[in-house]
Chains A and B, each alone.
Chain A
């Protein structure tokens, strides 16, 4: 399981055993790995040299993961940041995403889930530097951003303007968890942020239009209390969310 391209990862965790296990495992899979024991150390390391991805634990003594994330994002805007948190810490997840994190993994995580998340984030940050395409494609869905059209398996699907805006925004950030607030502000406007019911309703309508079985969504995944994630079911790098529940 080698990464797509050479990739450097900074593992930040106060637990030495976990750091070592992750470092050894990722190194064996072809990643270049360095360690930092605290948020402060991570900031110092990033100032010395850039990394493709930082794997950052939330619960750390001293500078916690959220604050470290904010500082790292300010220092290295192009570095992917993955937060490591525990289940039932939805507030931490939202705060981390708002502080600039690209994704999160939930402890205890499997190694292949971790690698899948790393790859997905890596791909996203590398795609981000390129120009925005006029056509977005994911699985059997195709979106023409210029003409505001959607096709599923070649058949055109009619969407309302808001449905189209929401789907295209999700598809532009496919694989990434997007918080409710971010989605509302991007699609409805900056004055929105607490109207979760709008999102719930529009996601429900979109699922009816694009999912084979709306009750078992493959594209539009719910991240409870956090937001939504568009996943390409045919992209192995975007299977981290599915692996988490195994």
Chain B
């Protein structure tokens, strides 16, 4: 047509250039390059001397044709590149929208939803993936959605083990390691995911975020459940304290009044005395049990002051030095003036636990010896009992919470809290409580309770005046 219009070389060149640009805008680089080459041939054939021949006589024409070819190819390349960039941008935009939709769907999934399918279904739905497989390392569970092959499951597992992402174009699989705070927490594999190089990473990040959200929810639920349990426990202990002690107060008041009324015979008064003292003992036992249960959970807060260890021990011994225990308690003092800095209530409780233990597990009719002595800057109390040797394998565990030795379980009921609480108290008082291995013999047990001696210098200068 350009030939029929009798256009010159330059005008024809621009027309052909327009043709090449038009082809670049609609076709790919190859077709546009072919059109450019054909245009050069047409220009040579129709507009360059000798006409109707592919020969070129003038070097200037050769230069013109070469320039046309180069310009055409450059324009073709640039236009194709711009089109490709636009296409990538469109795809990225689409992917972004899909990821956004997926994120919204994932947020709509309840964190406590059972089964990983609830989590994975949105991946299949939004991205049209054939199959998804998720390995959660925290629960060691594999969750799947879609038509899952063994290869996908295997590849997903391998990615977690080697903490290295994998691509398997042959099977259309892309697997990514899931991390939280830089630490691998699982892996996710996709089968049939379009453009996995671009999308698999963000999808894995979304899966990681959702997994972490689920875990945080579970942690918060567990913490809430623990707090509720603690609240129930406190409520039960308070109720026990009240419900137990009120009837005991009634019994004590009634028995005390009976005795004071002087209406009873000597035998009757003796019986009233017994009722009163045993009810008081029951009250002390209840107090001790409730206190022990509280101290098991709570931090020990001692009210420390200078006290006389002898009187605390005498109080504790009086509780157990009675016929009903079937044991005799012998206090041996190896030093004078055993003053310590301690909370008398708590220390009495700790010593009572040791005596309770000794009386419960020692040989019936035996003597429990309680030695009080000094060693360097410590006051040491040793509680020695016979017939209750602690096996070597159990010695490191007896102070553990809820631990009860095999023999202890055969002898009778117990909570496994006594020694745990006693040690907790003594540690809070700055002392130590251990099984005395040096003194351990084959037929008994020796517990060593040590408390620091008072630092008198500390007192006297600290107060404000």
Q: Does B153 contact A (CB under 8 A)?
A: no
Rounded to whole angstroms, the CA-CA distance of A200 and B311 in the bound complex is 20
Rounded to whole angstroms, the CA-CA distance of A171 and B315 in the bound complex is 28
- Chain A residue with the shortest CB-CB distance to B242: A59
Rounded to whole angstroms, the CA-CA distance of A17 and B252 in the bound complex is 12
- Contact across chains for A87 and B287 when beta carbons are under 8 A apart: yes
**What's the least CB distance linking A163 to chain B, in Å?**
10
- Contact across chains for A88 and B257 when beta carbons are under 8 A apart: no
Q: Which of B258-298 contact A (CB under 8 A)?
A: 260-261, 276, 279-280, 283, 287, 290-291, 294
Rounded to whole angstroms, the CA-CA distance of A188 and B246 in the bound complex is 39
Rounded to whole angstroms, the CA-CA distance of A105 and B33 in the bound complex is 105
**What's the least CB distance linking A132 to chain B, in Å?**
25
Q: Does A216 contact B (CB under 8 A)?
A: yes
Q: Return chain B residues, CB-CB under 8 Å to A200.
A: 305
- Contact across chains for A204 and B306 when beta carbons are under 8 A apart: yes
Q: A28-B260, A222-B303 are in contact. Are A17 and B247 (CB under 8 A)?
A: yes
**What's the least CB distance linking B245 to chain A, in Å?**
4
Which of B257, B306, B462, B463 has a CB less than 8 Å from the CB of A24? Answer: B257
Rounded to whole angstroms, the CA-CA distance of A69 and B408 in the bound complex is 48
- Contact across chains for A22 and B343 when beta carbons are under 8 A apart: no
Rounded to whole angstroms, the CA-CA distance of A222 and B246 in the bound complex is 25
Q: Return chain A residues, CB-CB under 8 Å to B301.
A: 225
Q: Return chain A residues, CB-CB under 8 Å to B283.
A: 107-108
Q: Return chain B residues, CB-CB under 8 Å to A155.
A: none
Q: Return chain B residues, CB-CB under 8 Å to A112.
A: 256, 260
- Contact across chains for B242 and A108 when beta carbons are under 8 A apart: no
Q: Return chain A residues, CB-CB under 8 Å to B305.
A: 200, 203-204, 222
0 or 1 for each of B11-41: is its CB under 8 Å from A? (1 = yes): 0000000000000000000000000000000
- Chain B residue with the shortest CB-CB distance to A195: B464
Q: Does A246 contact B (CB under 8 A)?
A: yes
| Interface of B, helix, strand, loop or mixed by DSSP | helix
Q: Return chain A residues, CB-CB under 8 Å to B459.
A: 201, 204-205
- Contact across chains for A202 and B260 when beta carbons are under 8 A apart: no
- Chain A residue with the shortest CB-CB distance to B343: A224
Q: Does B443 contact A (CB under 8 A)?
A: no
Number of inter-chain CB pairs below 8 Å: 117
Q: Return chain B residues, CB-CB under 8 Å to A213.
A: 308
Q: Return chain A residues, CB-CB under 8 Å to B291.
A: 87-88
Q: Which of A158-216 contact B (CB under 8 A)?
A: 160-162, 188, 195, 197-198, 200-205, 207, 213-216
Rounded to whole angstroms, the CA-CA distance of A58 and B279 in the bound complex is 22
Rounded to whole angstroms, the CA-CA distance of A203 and B307 in the bound complex is 13
- Contact across chains for A225 and B463 when beta carbons are under 8 A apart: no
Rounded to whole angstroms, the CA-CA distance of A1 and B258 in the bound complex is 12
Rounded to whole angstroms, the CA-CA distance of A17 and B247 in the bound complex is 8
Q: Does A44 contact B (CB under 8 A)?
A: no
**What's the least CB distance linking B374 to chain A, in Å?**
15
- Chain A residue with the shortest CB-CB distance to B291: A88
- Contact across chains for A107 and B248 when beta carbons are under 8 A apart: yes
Rounded to whole angstroms, the CA-CA distance of A207 and B305 in the bound complex is 11
- Chain B residue with the shortest CB-CB distance to A109: B249
- Chain B residue with the shortest CB-CB distance to A160: B465
**What's the least CB distance linking B384 to chain A, in Å?**
25
Q: Does A47 contact B (CB under 8 A)?
A: no
Rounded to whole angstroms, the CA-CA distance of A214 and B255 in the bound complex is 36
Rounded to whole angstroms, the CA-CA distance of A21 and B306 in the bound complex is 39
Rounded to whole angstroms, the CA-CA distance of A222 and B341 in the bound complex is 14
Q: Does A234 contact B (CB under 8 A)?
A: no
- Contact across chains for A245 and B315 when beta carbons are under 8 A apart: yes
Q: Does A126 contact B (CB under 8 A)?
A: no
- Chain B residue with the shortest CB-CB distance to A111: B256
Q: Does A110 contact B (CB under 8 A)?
A: yes
- Contact across chains for B249 and A107 when beta carbons are under 8 A apart: yes
**What's the least CB distance linking A211 to chain B, in Å?**
10
Q: Return chain B residues, CB-CB under 8 Å to A22.
A: 253
Q: Return chain B residues, CB-CB under 8 Å to A89.
A: 241
Which of A21, A108, A162 has a CB less than 8 Å from the CB of B465? Answer: A162
- Contact across chains for A110 and B247 when beta carbons are under 8 A apart: no
- Contact across chains for A25 and B253 when beta carbons are under 8 A apart: yes
Q: Does B339 contact A (CB under 8 A)?
A: yes
Q: A86-B245, A108-B248 are in contact. Are A21 and B308 (CB under 8 A)?
A: no
Q: A86-B241, A197-B463, A216-B308 are in contact. Are A18 and B261 (CB under 8 A)?
A: no
Q: Does A156 contact B (CB under 8 A)?
A: no
Q: Does B254 contact A (CB under 8 A)?
A: yes
Q: Which of B302-327 contact A (CB under 8 A)?
A: 303, 305-308, 311, 315
Rounded to whole angstroms, the CA-CA distance of A164 and B251 in the bound complex is 44
Q: Return chain A residues, CB-CB under 8 Å to B311.
A: 215-216
Q: Does B460 contact A (CB under 8 A)?
A: yes
Which of B241, B250, B260, B315 has a CB less than 8 Å from the CB of A1? Answer: B260
- Chain A residue with the shortest CB-CB distance to B294: A88
Rounded to whole angstroms, the CA-CA distance of A224 and B347 in the bound complex is 13
**What's the least CB distance linking B11 to chain A, in Å?**
100
Q: Return chain A residues, CB-CB under 8 Å to B287.
A: 87-88
Rounded to whole angstroms, the CA-CA distance of A90 and B179 in the bound complex is 50
Q: Return chain A residues, CB-CB under 8 Å to B315.
A: 245
Q: A18-B246, A88-B291, A224-B343 are in contact. Are A109 and B464 (CB under 8 A)?
A: no
- Contact across chains for B308 and A215 when beta carbons are under 8 A apart: yes
Q: Return chain B residues, CB-CB under 8 Å to A241.
A: none
Q: Return chain A residues, CB-CB under 8 Å to B394.
A: none
- Contact across chains for B254 and A21 when beta carbons are under 8 A apart: yes
- Contact across chains for A29 and B257 when beta carbons are under 8 A apart: yes
The residue among B255, B257, B283, B344 with the most chain A CB atoms within 10 A of its own CB is B257
- Contact across chains for B252 and A110 when beta carbons are under 8 A apart: yes
- Contact across chains for B250 and A17 when beta carbons are under 8 A apart: yes
Q: Return chain B residues, CB-CB under 8 Å to A17.
A: 247, 250
A107-B248, A110-B256, A214-B306 known; 8 other A-B pairs, CB under 8 Å? Answer: A21-B254, A107-B246, A107-B249, A107-B283, A111-B255, A197-B462, A215-B311, A225-B303
Q: Closest 9 interchain pairs by CB?
A: A111-B256, A25-B257, A215-B308, A108-B248, A108-B283, A107-B245, A201-B463, A224-B303, A21-B253
Enumerate 13 A-B pairs (CB-CB under 8 Å) in ascending A order.
Answer: A15-B246, A87-B287, A88-B290, A108-B251, A109-B249, A114-B253, A160-B465, A162-B463, A201-B459, A201-B463, A215-B306, A215-B307, A224-B303
